[in-house]
Amino acid sequence: MVLSGELQYSKEHKIIKDDDLAVREVENIFADILDRVKLLDPANSRKWFEKLTVFHFDGGSLVIGCPDEETVQFLHDNCRSSFTRAAQHITDHLVTVDFNVDNFESTPRPTQRPGRGPKLHPDYTFDNFVVGPSNRLAHASCIAVSQSPGNTYNPLFLYGNSGLGKTHLLHAVCYQARQGSDSEVIQFLSCEDFINRFIRAIEKGNLPGFQSQFRTVDMLVIDDVQFLREREQSQEEFFHTFNALYNNGKQIILSADSPPGKIPSLEERLISRFNWGLVTRIDPPSYETRIAIVQKKAHLRGLDISDEIAEYVARKVHANIRELEGALTTIYAVSTTTGKEITMELARTALEGQLKAAARHISITDIIEVVTGHFDVRLADLQSKKRSQSITEPRQICMYLARNLTKHSLEEIGGHLGGRDHTTVMYACNKITLAKDADPQMHSLLGELTKQITQPSKA
Ligand code: ADP
Ligand code: MG
């Protein structure tokens, strides 16, 4: 820990001079900050936060020490604002928060290649993946590929509905492959990212740069390749990328929401290539697997929940593991905000409140009202042909919320928003879903809007 200059405050805002005392005091402050973060953002709180250290702390800046680069990335992307708010609340000062690798064992990990490796989520490892009949084959093939890239199943193609663990497994493969070999160059990205980078390369006249970036890797992992549909030029480019890698024995791993042959308007030559290796499906998890997942996720957050509660949650939510996690987060949030232990009664109240809110009849007008109010735009703008970012984003958010909070069809939703057709609505929903997963700010904005729509009295 570096205490730069004189420590300026303690919890009671006393000036501290004694060094030992200062260190202890900082540790106490930091423990309070961590407690506060739990309250502010239960969804992103993890048990391993306990292992974080204070790397540097002075009057205006707190740098938190993390065990590795992935942790730094995760905290930076998901938790920076809650840590900042917590630090400001506890110290009563304007504090900026940053994260840094703290090599407590003083041997820097040789695998660290800051800025070069793919962004990986520290939760998405094989250790944290619960294996059951619904995903056994997918899991086993991912393990095989990560141990010997390019030599077993190539390409490996995972498919299944949203929220069943495809992205989690792709991250886990990259982790494992990177542990196995430091020199391995891994490119991991979403299909949208691939398409956007391709478009940008064309615009900048730098296609060769793009091509060399993708055709020289050891492992190319692309998530959600169904977004290649109707993208003829991107498909063409991807076809050549695929061939270059495949012919050099490099590993290709893909995921999608449906099997290759069912992705609309995907070129025949890509379909056949995607089928060359192993195509494996992930199914919705069984009741037993769901219980194990709830327990695993609770453990990750440092929660102790009884079997009875895990069974209750697993019974309530079945189709989608993301929702299973959401249910657990709700329970955790109610427990931390009320300071009550997680009992069966608390779990029931927490989830039933959530289910009731969802069941309440919500109209598209309710949604439009909240969204236009938040963004300060007019309904007429949302219904107009305007395509500026300041209008399209609220419009797409309305579509997404209407799709998730009402029972209206895509056509009906499009009808309310200027007579747009169902593909436009579907595109908007996908786009916002991806943005929600990738961007914590979008995630919390959607949560806030949903709260205002479902609990209008509190708005
Ligand atoms: P997909 O990419 O298929 O839409 P994700 O990989 O994003 O789904 O998974 C959604 C959430 O569910 C993630 O938080 C992930 O960790 C979790 N999850 C999915 N399957 C499992 C599993 N078998 N064990 C533990 N967590 C899982
Ligand atoms: Mg995914």
User: How confident is the model at residue 205, as a pLDDT?
Assistant: 94
Low-confidence ranges of the chain (pLDDT < 70): 1-21, 59, 103-117, 353-361, 456-459
Ligand 1 atom closest to Cα of 285? 23
Q: Residue 96: helix, strand or coil by DSSP?
A: strand
284-342 pLDDT tens trace: 999 999 999 999 999 988 888 999 999 999 998 887 898 888 888 888 888 877 778 89
In this structure, the answer to whether residues 253 and 143 fall within a common structural domain is: yes
In this structure, the answer to whether residues 260 and 300 fall within a common structural domain is: no
Among candidate residues 50, 85, 101, the one where a domain is terminated: 101
Which protein residues are within 6 Å of ligand 1, measured from CB? 123-124, 128-130, 135, 160, 162-168, 293, 296, 321-322, 325
Ligand 1 atom closest to Cα of 161? 3
85-90: long-range contacts at Cβ-Cβ below 8 A with a sequence spacing of 24 or more?
85/36, 85/40, 86/33, 86/34, 86/36, 86/37, 86/40, 87/33, 87/62, 89/36, 90/11, 90/29, 90/32, 90/33, 90/36
Ligand 1 atom closest to Cα of 139? 23
pTM comes to: 0.68
In this structure, the answer to whether residues 273 and 173 fall within a common structural domain is: yes
In this structure, the answer to whether residues 175 and 144 fall within a common structural domain is: yes
In this structure, the answer to whether residues 324 and 400 fall within a common structural domain is: no
In this structure, the answer to whether residues 317 and 399 fall within a common structural domain is: no
CATH number, residue 352: 1.10.8.60
CA of residue 381 to ligand 2 center, whole Å: 32
Q: What Cα–Cα distance (Å) separates residue 102 from each residue in 2, 57, 58, 120, 341? A: 11, 14, 17, 18, 33
User: How confident is the model at residue 88, as a pLDDT?
Assistant: 87
348-367 pLDDT tens trace: 988 886 655 555 667 888 89
In this structure, the answer to whether residues 304 and 388 fall within a common structural domain is: no
Tell me whether residue 123 is in a domain. no
CATH number, residue 67: 3.30.300.180
Among candidate residues 214, 246, 281, the one where a domain is terminated: 281
Q: How many domains does the chain have?
A: 4
User: How confident is the model at residue 398, as a pLDDT?
Assistant: 95
Q: Which two tokens stand for residue 199?
A: 């478009």
Tell me whether residue 387 is in a domain. yes
26-56 pLDDT tens trace: 888 899 999 999 888 888 889 899 989 998 8
Tell me whether residue 120 is in a domain. no
User: How confident is the model at residue 245, as a pLDDT?
Assistant: 96
Q: 416 is in which domain, residue-wise?
A: 364-454
User: How confident is the model at residue 5, as a pLDDT?
Assistant: 42
User: How confident is the model at residue 21, as a pLDDT?
Assistant: 61
CATH number, residue 183: 3.40.50.300
Going across the sheet that includes 156-159, the strands are 186-190, 219-223, 251-256, 156-159, 278-281
CA of residue 446 to ligand 1 center, whole Å: 20
User: How confident is the model at residue 16, as a pLDDT?
Assistant: 41
List phi, psi (to 5°) of 57.
-150, 120
User: How confident is the model at residue 134, as a pLDDT?
Assistant: 95
Residue with CA closest to ligand 1 atom 26: 129
CA 244 to CA 309: how far, in whole Å? 51
Ligand 1 pocket: which of 301, 313, 321, 430 to mutate (most atoms <8 Å of CB)?
321
